Amino acid sequence: MERRLMRRQSARRCCSYNTLKAWLPILSWLPKYNLKWLKMDVLAGLTVGLTTVPQALAYAEVAGLPVQFGLYSAFMGGFIYTFLGTSKDVTLGPTAIMSLLCSSVVGGEPHRAVLLSLLCGLIQAVMALLRLGFLLDFISFPVIKGFTCAAAVTIGFGQVKNILGIQGVPQQFFLEVYYTFHKIPEARIGDVVLGLICLALLVTLMFMKSSLTSDSDSTCSMYARKVVWAVATMRNAAVVIAASLIAFSWETYGNHVFTITGKTTRGLPPFRPPPTSDTTANGTVISFGEIVEDFGGGLAVIPFMGLLESIAIAKAFASQNDYRIDANQELLAIGVTNIMGSFVSAYPVTGSFGRTAVNSQTGVCTPAGGVVTSVIVLLSLAFLMPAFYYIPKASLAAVIICAVAPMVDYRVVAKMWRIRKLDLLPFFVTFLMSFWEVQYGIVGGIAVSGALLLYSMARPQIEVTDHGVLVMELSSGLTFPATEYLSHTIHTRALQVSPPRSVVLDCSHVSVIDYTVISELRDLLRQFKLREVHLIFAGLQPSILKVLLAADLEGLRHNHSVDEALQMESRNLLDD
């Protein structure tokens, strides 16, 4: 008896520990942590940290926020994801797409951006707890590609004004294009030259890195390859530091040649609850409800896109490095990151493809590498903020343009044309509408993609062959949208001809059926009986047969296969 009690208690403890491990994935790898893993995680964390700092500053510009908010948003993810994340490679932080979405919703107002982070985090965490990750499956690949291509064009062109050093350009894309070209005569020579040099250096270093990975038979020494790889990997930091030194040297002599970032708030952000109201310049208080109303559709789009981007990245690197992730746990990690980030003045974040790739290539072993990255960001906030004063905006613009350029995947259009031309419709709807308003592009693309999906459900393929008896083969499940189409096909091909004809309905591919279909089948069986012909069901799966028998359909005939049904109907015709 005592042994049984001990076994039960042991089983309960084991079950409780497994449940805890499911919610805290750190428990699955922390007991096995060793010195080798620590060395690789520190190296990867340092490398990613030096990439994160300049990118975070640049993405804050895209979000229309002061540059320090990029760093405020870049460190919480590393700490939270270490405890809750299931991918060793993913790094959470500001990204180009989330920054663009944030800009379109909050209009460059920091208080609203912080509140948006809290609300997005709550939505994402609730989705994780309710296991609603499957909703992301309804956002099709053409919609995602259309959005990312449009976002890359919008973000990239939005930085042209910083390369040119011109001011007073509106945020709306079409107006931005017009005023950018209109104000070209106002361009500052210093910004143009510096911006183009930064772009050239970044592109050169990027190609050098790709040539190293592709040319394994290179004659250069291993040491030289490592040096080039290290410089190319940290190219963003190297270019921004070099540009800042150049700007500092000119500013020291009183020559204001470049447009620089200017004054930034020093030190770490205070830990405090995000604001739930706002006050305008004239003293009018805007309530929480009014702010949420202003967010509009962005409050649905941003959490979904954040989840979609991060989980797609996690799945890609899990497949590449041969491990598995838990999608719902990833939702929870992102949600908690955004909730906690709102307490340190962060705007919404998600997984970064570029920084995750650097993390993976550097050989990170566990999510603990994110802690090192976060420490680098915190040290930058604590000690380097005065130096950020001299960062030229043209250099940050070059960093952003090079980061988003690979997102413009023009080859995907040709692929969709070859595979399924109809997929180009949601792609172009999303792509074009995103230039008008980012949220409208995503919602429009999802609507068109959903309409195509519903159309395929309402108009399933029905292959009709004549064997003396009509055989109609259904290609998919039977649900209520397809009821009218199936009934119309049967009436026009079998019941309204003279003489009426029997039909064998091949249901071997049908795995779903609903009440509306049952009601229509009952009416069809009655119509066949009135005309003294037969409707025979063949190839029914056990679950479908069980439903049909439970419905007690009068005159129901069924056979195991189409051949049996044809033989039986042939005998009936001979008997008649």
Whether 574 has a pLDDT exceeding 70, the answer reads: no
Q: What is the pLDDT of residue 352?
A: 86
Q: How confident is the model at residue 462 (pLDDT cuts 50, 70, 90)?
A: confident
Residue 341 has pLDDT above 70, yes or no: yes
Contact between 21 and 28 under an 8 Å Cβ cutoff? The reply is: yes
Report helix, strand or coil for 285.
Answer: strand
Among candidates 134, 61, 81, which has minimal Cα distance to 338? Answer: 81
pLDDT at residue 49, rounded to an integer: 87
- List the domain boundaries for the chain: 33-407, 462-573
pLDDT band at residue 16 using 50, 70 and 90 as cut-offs: low
Mean pLDDT of the region 548-561: 82
Q: Which tens digits make up the pLDDT trace of 484-521?
A: 998 999 999 888 888 888 888 888 888 888 888 899 99
At residue 113, the pLDDT reads 93
> Among 78-92, 327-341, 532-546, which is the least confidently predicted range?
532-546
- With CA atoms as reference, report the closest residue to 244 among 264, 265, 259: 259
Q: Which tokens go with 521?
A: 């089948």
pLDDT given at position 573: 58
Residue 94: per-residue pLDDT = 93
User: What is the per-residue pLDDT for 567?
Assistant: 77
pLDDT of 118 above 70:
yes
Q: pLDDT exceeding 70 applies to what percent of the chain?
A: 94
Nearest to 122 by CA among 247, 293, 300: 300
The per-residue pLDDT for 219 is 52
Tokens of 369: 């590498």
Higher pLDDT, 232 or 193: 193
Mean pLDDT (whole number) for 541-558: 85
Helix (H, G, I), strand (E, B) or coil at 93: strand
Q: How many CA atoms lie within 13 A of 500 on its CB side?
A: 16
- 1 band by pLDDT with thresholds 50, 70 and 90: low
What pLDDT, on the 0 to 100 scale, is given for residue 271? 92
Which residues, other chains included, contact 476 with Cβ-Cβ below 8 Å and sequence gap of 6+?
A: 457, 460, 461, 509, 510
The pLDDT of residue 159: 87
Q: What is the mean pLDDT of residues 342-359?
A: 89
Which pLDDT does position 3 carry in this prediction?
Answer: 60
- pTM greater than 0.75: yes
Q: Quote the CA–CA distance of 437 and 105 in Å, as a whole number.
A: 10
Q: How far apart are CA 500 and CA 493, in angstroms?
A: 9
**pLDDT at position 124 over 90:** yes
The mean per-residue pLDDT over the stretch 145-171 comes to 86
Task: Please provide the DSSP assignment of 330-396 as one string.
Answer: HHHHHHHHHHHHGGGTPPP-EE-HHHHHHHHHTT--STTHHHHHHHHHHHIIIIIHHHHTT-BHHHH
Q: What's the pLDDT score for residue 523?
A: 92
Which of the listed ranges 247-261, 342-356, 393-407, 435-449 does the model predict with the highest average pLDDT?
Answer: 342-356
pLDDT band at 276 (very low <50, low <70, confident <90, very high): confident
**Would you give the DSSP letter of residue 31?**
G
* Least confident range of 73-82, 271-280, 363-372: 271-280
Quick one: average pLDDT of 13-31? Answer: 77
CATH domain 462-573 topology: Transcription Regulator spoIIAA (3.30.750)
Nearest CA among 405, 389, 401, 395 for reference residue 165:
395
Give pLDDT tens digits for 383-404: 888 888 888 888 888 888 888 8
pLDDT tier at 11 (50, 70, 90 boundaries)?
Answer: low
The residue among 144, 124, 9, 77 whose CA lies nearest residue 416 is 144
